[in-house]
Amino acid sequence: MKYLTLLGSTGSIGKNVLEIVRLYPDRFGIKALCAATSVELLATQILEFSPEIACVIDAPHREALKALLPPGCATELLIGEAGYRQAASHGDVSMVVSAFVGAAGLVPTLAAIHAGKDIALANKETLVTAGDLVMPLAAEKGVSILPVDSEHSAIFQCLNGENPREVDKLILTASGGPFRTTPREAMGEITLAQALNHPTWSMGKKITIDSATLMNKGLEVIEAHHLFGVDARLIEVVVHPQSIVHSMVAYVDGVVMAQMGRPDMKGAIAYALNHPHRMDIGMPPPDFAAIGTLTFEAPDASKFPCLQLAFDASDAGGTMPTVLNAANEVAVAAFLEERIGFLDIPRTIARTMDAHCVITRPVLDDVQEADAWARRRARGLLCR
């Protein structure tokens, strides 16, 4: 039995993880469930999976959660960062699924690594903001970091058994989002409803907006750089609207290995949970005859400047990726609240990055201070 802590149990990744646990209750057990504010769903999950620990963001949400549970419920209810760290380092847990959205996933993921827990990583911001800290610590503690993003899982599978010195480049595929064919002059008129209407993937709101701006792909470039030890300049992004090829690896002999599957996160999640073995999760392979054609194209950098901003942040290194991510989180939150326009997202990020003095070899305090500075700066820009 593999016991899990699930950071972000009420999000799209978390719900998919629990679907797999339902399929294989003899293989997986849940020791801790962590969410932020979605207490109604978390209460339902607690009643079904009976974790020893559940954690929410603060005391008012704990009281709301407690009110939804029956008297005498044995699950210990914790709050805040200290609670998340305790859940992530639970003594009986062998794997922590890091599925929080945003930079909030960093500290509990670090706690899990310090405790020697393997990580199923869906929270790309952990490596974007602090990859230079996370990867060496994982190596020191003998911890495996198994990617849950479909693109990184694909690369991980394509690298399996190969000599890393023979890799020519990594090729990350992007769906192109809902605005792949939108004329450049119309990008300023994009509405929130349009941006949330992703053509192939079902995801949370923040990640859906990141996909629409292609920032999601930029963050994935930085994540891949840390996960696989490949210079970001050797990572190529191609737009693949059908979302069947999840990513590829090109080798020095001109051979390209691709991993394919339906656009559904459960395949990547199951592979991370049960690595190195595969499980039957009831998902058929793509119907290639019905699909007919797979197409690829270069991303339009003039329409989607967030992608280049991510490459620029990676080139700058140090605390700049932290600033990129924090400014993006602030700008996306403002767009979701319909306080700014779609094109204000990259403008806010670029202006915040331009004002930042990079710390080249940051420790955790530097990362956290850069994150807080970038959020203040970005909010200030939005108020002008």
Span 317-384: which CATH code? 1.10.1740.10
Query: Residue 126: CB partners within 8 Å, gap ≥ 6?
Result: 98, 105, 106, 109, 134
Q: Is the pLDDT of residue 384 over 70?
A: no
The backbone torsions φ and ψ at residue 16, rounded to the nearest 5 degrees and listed phi first, read -70, -40
Cα separation, 382 vs 384, in Å, equals: 6
Q: What are 7-51's pLDDT values in tens digits?
A: 999 999 999 999 999 999 999 999 999 999 999 999 999 999 999
Residues 339-348, mean pLDDT to the nearest whole number:
96
Q: Answer whether 219's CB lies under 8 Å from 176's CB.
A: no
Q: Is the pLDDT of residue 200 over 80?
A: no
Q: What is the pLDDT of residue 201?
A: 66
* Mean of the per-residue pLDDT values of the chain: 95
Give me the residue spans of the domains in the chain. Answer: 2-147, 152-313, 317-384
The residue count of the chain comes to 384
Q: Please tell me the chain's helix, strand, coil percentages from 3-state DSSP, rounded to the nearest 5.
A: 50, 15, 35
The closest of 218, 234, 194 to 305, measured between CA atoms, is: 218
Q: Answer whether 43's CB lies under 8 Å from 72's CB.
A: no
Name the CATH code of domain 2-147 (choices 3.40.50.300, 3.40.50.720, 3.40.50.1980, 1.10.10.60).
Answer: 3.40.50.720
ω into residue 276 within 30 of 0, thus cis?
A: yes
Residues 225-243, mean pLDDT to the nearest whole number:
95
Q: What is the pLDDT of residue 73?
A: 94
ω into residue 321 within 30 of 0, thus cis?
A: no
